[in-house]
Structure 1
C-alpha cells in the first residue's frame, strides 16, 4: 500500500514539473529515454537516484522533493532567483515611459554570459571546418543558471537553430537550441550531430558493440544505426542539446 501511495505521489510531482508541455517532448528535452519515461508516466515506476538527479538538475527542483516529497520543491537559492525574476517581470509590466529599452543597472550585465549564435548553414561543418566562423550575434543567459542547472561552462556553449521537421513534436523548424559542445560522447538524449557535411538534431541511443541508434521524433523519418568503428570522419557528435527556445507567433 505504501509503495502504491509513493508511486501516486511521485506521479503528481512529475505532472507538476511537466506542466502543460507534452510529456514525451518534456522527457526528450531532459534526456530521458522513452522506455524509462513510459515506466514512470504510465506504469507508476519511481526512477533510480541517477535518473532522479538528472530530472532535478534540468527542472530546478530538489531530489528529495521529487522522490519522497520531502521539504520544499526548490532550494532557497533557486527560489530566491525565481522571486527576483518575478520581481523583474512585475517591474517591466508596470513600468511607464517612452523609451524603446528598459533602463537597468550596470551591474545586471555581470549576471549574464553571452553565448555566440551561429548560422546553421554557415556552420554545416561545426566542430571542424567551421572553427573560424564568426557568430551572427550573441544571446544572453544567466550565469547562475548555466553553472548550477546546466553544470556547463559558457565557453562550451553555442546557439544554433533547428531546420526541417524531422524532430517535429519535440523540436520544431526554426526553434533556437543551446548546445553544450563539451558533451561529445554519444549517449541517450538530444544531440546535434554531423554526418558528412550536414548537421542534424536527433535523439541518440548508445547500443552494445560501439553503435549508436539515431532516431527522429517524426515517424516519417526512419531510424538508423551508425557503427562508430566504421564511421570515422563521417559521423561526429557536436554536442548535447540542453535548452531550446521557440517563437510563438
Structure 2
C-alpha cells in the first residue's frame, strides 16, 4: 500500500476496528455487499480496491451504525452529500439488541427463553434490519459449533434465528432433549421429522415430531475468514 495516504490507511483501520467491535468479521461484511469473503480483507490489508463503491460503502456503514464518512477513503464530496452523511452514531433507541445464546444451552421445556440464557448481545440499526427483511423478527444470535453443517455453516459462524418462523422446511435451530442443534428440517412420514446435516459425513436423523422442538429458522449468518 505504498501509494495509499495516511488518511486512507486510517479509514481502513477504522473499518476493521468497527467490525470487530460489532462482533462481526470482514468476511461477513464482504458477503453483506455481495462480494467474495476475501474482498474487504484485501481492501484493508492491500489497498485493493483503492476505494469502495458508494452503494457498498453506504450498506456497510448502515450495518455498523455509522456515517459513511467515518470509513470512506475518497475525499468527501460536499456536492453529493446527504443528511445521512452527517448523521451521528444512532442512539440506543435506533438500535435493536439481538441476544447471543450458547448453542448447547438449555432453557428447559417449553418456550425458548433468551433472557435466561443469553451471555452477550449484538446491536444493529433498525434500518439495516429492515433492508435485510428482518424487521419485526424475533431474533437471537447463536455461535455455531462443530462441522455437521459445513460448508453451509462453519464452526464459529454467528447465525440469526427468527423465533417467529417455526413452520416449514429449511435450516432451523431445534431442541432435542436439553441440547440445541442447527439442522436442515424436512418433513418425512406423517408425524415424523428428518434432521439433515449439510456435511455428508453425518447421517440424517429421523425422529417423531413430538421429540423435536423447533426453536426458529436461521435467517442470516456471518463469520471469520
Shorter-chain TM-score category? 0.5 to 0.7
Alignment counterpart, residue 221 of structure 1, candidates 194, 202, 205: 202
Question: If each structure's helix is expressed as a fraction of its own residues, which one has the higher value?
Answer: 1
The reply on whether 1:180 has 2:180 as its aligned counterpart is: no
Following TM superposition, by how much is the alpha carbon of 1:119 offset from its aligned partner in structure 2, in angstroms? 2.4
Q: Deviations over 1:78-98 (max 9, x none)?
A: xx9756336745632549xxx
Q: CA RMSD in A?
A: 3.4
The reply on whether 1:212 has 2:193 as its aligned counterpart is: yes
Following TM superposition, by how much is the alpha carbon of 1:130 offset from its aligned partner in structure 2, in angstroms? 4.7
Aligned-partner Cα distance in 1 for 2:127–2:115: 29
Q: Deviations over 1:10-61 (max 9, x none)?
A: xxxxxxx97648xxxxxxxxxxxxxxxxxxxxxxxxxxxxxxxxxxxxxxxx
Alignment counterpart, residue 135 of structure 1, candidates 101, 118, 129: 118
Which structure 2 residues correspond to residues 1-249 of structure 1 after superposition, within 5 A? 20=36, 84-85=58-59, 88=67, 91-94=70-73, 105-107=88-90, 109-123=92-106, 125=108, 128=111, 130=113, 132-154=115-137, 156-185=138-167, 187-207=168-188, 209-228=190-209, 232=210, 234-248=211-225
Aligned-partner Cα distance in 2 for 1:192–1:239: 6
Aligned-partner Cα distance in 2 for 1:110–1:84: 21
TM-score (norm. length: structure 2)? 0.59
- Return the structure number with greater relative CO, CA threshold 8 A, min gap 6: 2
Q: Deviations over 1:175-201 (max 9, x none)?
A: 11110011122x221100011111110
Aligned-partner Cα distance in 1 for 2:60–2:99: 27
Name structure 1 gaps, 5 residues minimum: 1-16, 22-79, 96-103
Query: Cα gap change, 1:145/1:132 in structure 2, threshold over 3 Å: closer, same or farther?
Result: closer
Aligned-partner Cα distance in 2 for 1:140–1:91: 18
Following TM superposition, by how much is the alpha carbon of 1:235 offset from its aligned partner in structure 2, in angstroms? 1.1
Counterpart in the other structure of 2:7: none
Aligned-partner Cα distance in 1 for 2:58–2:34: 22
Following TM superposition, by how much is the alpha carbon of 1:204 offset from its aligned partner in structure 2, in angstroms? 1.2
How many residues get paired?
A: 161
Following TM superposition, by how much is the alpha carbon of 1:222 offset from its aligned partner in structure 2, in angstroms? 0.2
Aligned-partner Cα distance in 1 for 2:136–2:212: 25
Report the secondary structure of 1:241's partner residue: strand
